[in-house]
Structure 1
């Protein structure tokens, strides 16, 4: 089975059912499948070959959904890119992936034009323009550039009946680029069977069905946002997409008016929701579940979400792009396992191992290892890093994912995130988890968001810094935080410096950009906005 069959099967089973809602557009499964098939035919006529890479550089939209399924139907591999990407990074990915086609928005003309140096393998640019009108931007690459809708309806092209011949489930379906330790993005390779395994498992524990209506504001370049498409179409459900969560009130209105049943979020979205004073006037009785991943959802956030949306189950989850998802905390266990990221998802095993690769006992800290069909294929054109992270398993052809994350697992099999290996703070002879400090300080009334990291200290090895965003209207001093820390943390875990922010820099996927925060802090070390706790 191929990833594109999730659309084809639902188009056959639910042809006239609304599958996708975007702004004023409402498309049924049959329409999406037909448009994707026509686009696939165009790509084949334009010379695309099996295994070719196609970069999709578009905001969340109808076009991006049709494009990715059209690419898959043509037997190629799509590379979904962040719509906010800058020329330098776009140039790197176009060169690294060897993309032969680029699909993008007309409003990104200057960015694209400035990112084409040495992209010799890029042969075609397809522009998304309104009303299907060609926009004459061929100068950005060559005369072959044309409009997205023009390519679909050109010469009244009909779907090619042979477009599904050739690809098999071990072929690559997509490459997702993530931040790399060297500074250059790493391309995580996902086969069709990897994607489908993860899609089925997540859909199973979230109990997604054909009655569900999913609100997705997460970018498709972020695997959490991308998989909302696959899960929705696998189950014959409906998905409503927005470009972002920039206007929370508008999203909240749609949750009520469209009778949304599922709402995937990240912690920064929850923090914005809590700032809306008028939530109580809306009817959220349709909302069946709220899911979270990317960063751990503080228990205080979970409690607030449960009060705001009492009919909804809250799923706290943990995952990596390298395997999509690792674990979920069943809602029934939230109160008794409030600090846990849950249990392994269906059709997957997890282990905590020591430095020699031996499994450790309950509550012993070690590296998390993942086993299952959801473990991806490795990093594109990076065999050295692939060999370190993706290692041979017990059986022929099996691959284990060494996550690089430190965990412990209790006697019941519930996982507890401790830290990234390289995030651990060494201070006063102790190893300190930033996550543990963040969890404690999150429970302090008035703190909205927090990011903890270490800076060099000649005496103690490292000093602890807590960067804090306060809730609107709250006034808390560094001394207040020190007092709370003293009451709730061991002495060696108390932050030495407190840095107050109006808001944190965020990644395109909504995660707090801790690297940027710590790097900026190192430049200024202690500013007038900081309070050293002594």
Structure 2
């Protein structure tokens, strides 16, 4: 058996999340660990900052099992705070910086944190009204980067089975739900992913993804195993600055979603001689267009691509070998080492290769369930014959004879746009909360057409979309809105989305005349 095969079948797993950082700091103390803007921390500095912040969390009154919520732009202090929470036995939840108002109120009421880190006065007031302590990002940075010795470990420390992370994700309800990850589930997933991607010690991993997006967050953990450096870009970075930032950073790995990859391909087609030293591009969240990959490979000789499929509930389900998309177009790869991916029929029976069914994931990468959602947890995380829960994803596809997965679509209201998971139910509920909107319905994106919101009311499309900015994050709001007199209904009173699609096609034909 080859060295790679042995690593792939038995990924080395630390017991606790902060063990990843401790091991990296011991092996590569002066190697750059993370950069945000013009600030870089070595692994030794990141380790020390996390220890100071762990003691500070304890001094703030947070004890093992309590929760920390962070709602702020990315910075070098955030990774330190993540590892600090792990040391203190506190479960952290990183929210997108655009979360506020009703969405933030929901999180505060749902997970009842002991501390909220935010610079928003409105968010601070919302927390304080609930008796939740608050701190600014400046206060966190002052503790993290103080010129003081790193304190001893906080006692008692966490167990591997303790929750360490709550990630709020869209679902088939009007408000997000939190996926709970324990230390052992998170560290297994990170090690299994690294065994496939094989980040290197000299890699510079550029991540334009928010740390609230688990794909962005795991760049820290996968990189720590290799001693690589992570450069935190800006969320959903798709503008002209992307190419220059990659070149200046000396990026060798790009964690991409389709919108980022497409923007880079456009920028590279221009006459600029600048070319980043990218050797690897990864993708998850949404299918990557083959045309985009062809353009990137043409502009960046030597670039390799690894496509992936996953959900927050299992982090990553499948990964393609490098450039595997060229041999198996349309595939999302094979199951992570030590896990299993298969498809089942409506009765839960496994389907043979080549037949479409619901995608199920089984293994230590399947997370603990949903925070305070026992009924939904039982529905999605099912136990079979006394085994560990297996995740019924709600996604449909088929597996070939060699175990490669092919995605076919979803059967619920979740859709992907720009790599982010969005719930049509959540978007519709947000639109209905806008004063002046009576009813609302969303058509998910199809092909090159983005999601489209239909609203009933007296407001203009621009007024509806502006009102929604007070309700949900910007990236969840459809770019287009159509005002209609009424929503078409089916015979059983549900919104007739086929009729909505026909309305859209007719409106497009009228505008084209």
Instruction: Give TM-score, length-normalised by structure 1.
Output: 0.75
1:310 aligned residue (295, 301, 323):
301
Report how far residue 465 of structure 1 moved.
8.8
Counterpart for residue 389 of structure 2:
399
Verify: 1:202 aligned to 2:175, yes or no: no
1:342 aligned residue (333, 357, 360):
333
Identify if the C-alpha distance between structure 1 residues 207 and 348 changes in structure 2 by more than 3 Å, giving closer, same or farther.
same
Report how far residue 241 of structure 1 moved.
0.9
In structure 2, distance between residues paired with 1:17 and 1:279: 34
1:334 alignment partner, SS class = helix
Verify: 1:70 aligned to 2:88, yes or no: no
In structure 1, distance between residues paired with 2:79 and 2:472: 19
In structure 2, distance between residues paired with 1:253 and 1:153: 29
1:109 aligned residue (110, 117, 121):
121
Identify if the C-alpha distance between structure 1 residues 255 and 352 changes in structure 2 by more than 3 Å, giving closer, same or farther.
same
1:377 aligned residue (358, 368, 372):
368
In structure 2, distance between residues paired with 1:231 and 1:222: 15
Counterpart for residue 48 of structure 1:
62
Counterpart for residue 178 of structure 2:
187
Report how far residue 153 of structure 1 moved.
6.9
Indicate if the aligned counterparts of 1:265 and 1:293 stay in contact, CA closer than 8 A.
yes
In structure 1, distance between residues paired with 2:474 and 2:252: 22
Counterpart for residue 262 of structure 2:
271
Report how far residue 337 of structure 1 moved.
1.2
Indicate if the aligned counterparts of 1:18 and 1:27 stay in contact, CA closer than 8 A.
yes
Indicate if the aligned counterparts of 1:218 and 1:509 stay in contact, CA closer than 8 A.
no
Counterpart for residue 508 of structure 2:
530
2:358 alignment partner, SS class = strand
Matches within 5 A, 1:52-201: 52-104=66-118, 106=119, 108-113=120-125, 115-116=126-127, 119-120=130-131, 122=132, 124-129=133-138, 147-152=139-144, 158-163=149-154, 165-201=156-192
Verify: 1:255 aligned to 2:266, yes or no: no
In structure 2, distance between residues paired with 1:77 and 1:306: 41
Matches within 5 A, 1:418-429: 418-422=408-412
2:37 aligned residue (13, 23, 27):
23
Report how far residue 301 of structure 1 moved.
2.1
| Root mean square deviation, CA, Å | 3.3
In structure 2, distance between residues paired with 1:32 and 1:466: 43
| Further displaced range: 168-177 or 332-341 | 332-341
Identify if the C-alpha distance between structure 1 residues 68 and 277 changes in structure 2 by more than 3 Å, giving closer, same or farther.
closer
In structure 2, distance between residues paired with 1:373 and 1:6: 18
Report how far residue 246 of structure 1 moved.
3.9
Of the two structures, which has the highest relative contact order with CA contacts closer than 8 Å and spacing of 6 or more? 2
Indicate if the aligned counterparts of 2:282 and 2:306 stay in contact, CA closer than 8 A.
yes
In structure 2, distance between residues paired with 1:354 and 1:530: 38
Matches within 5 A, 1:353-372: 353-372=344-363
Indicate if the aligned counterparts of 2:306 and 2:323 stay in contact, CA closer than 8 A.
no
Indicate if the aligned counterparts of 1:375 and 1:401 stay in contact, CA closer than 8 A.
yes
Counterpart for residue 23 of structure 2:
9
Indicate if the aligned counterparts of 2:208 and 2:237 stay in contact, CA closer than 8 A.
no
Identify if the C-alpha distance between structure 1 residues 30 and 413 changes in structure 2 by more than 3 Å, giving closer, same or farther.
same
Aligned residues: 441
Identify if the C-alpha distance between structure 1 residues 277 and 362 changes in structure 2 by more than 3 Å, giving closer, same or farther.
closer
Which structure 1 residue ranges, 5 or more long, are not aligned? Answer: 130-146, 425-433, 439-450, 454-462, 471-504
In structure 2, distance between residues paired with 1:33 and 1:345: 29
1:281 alignment partner, SS class = coil
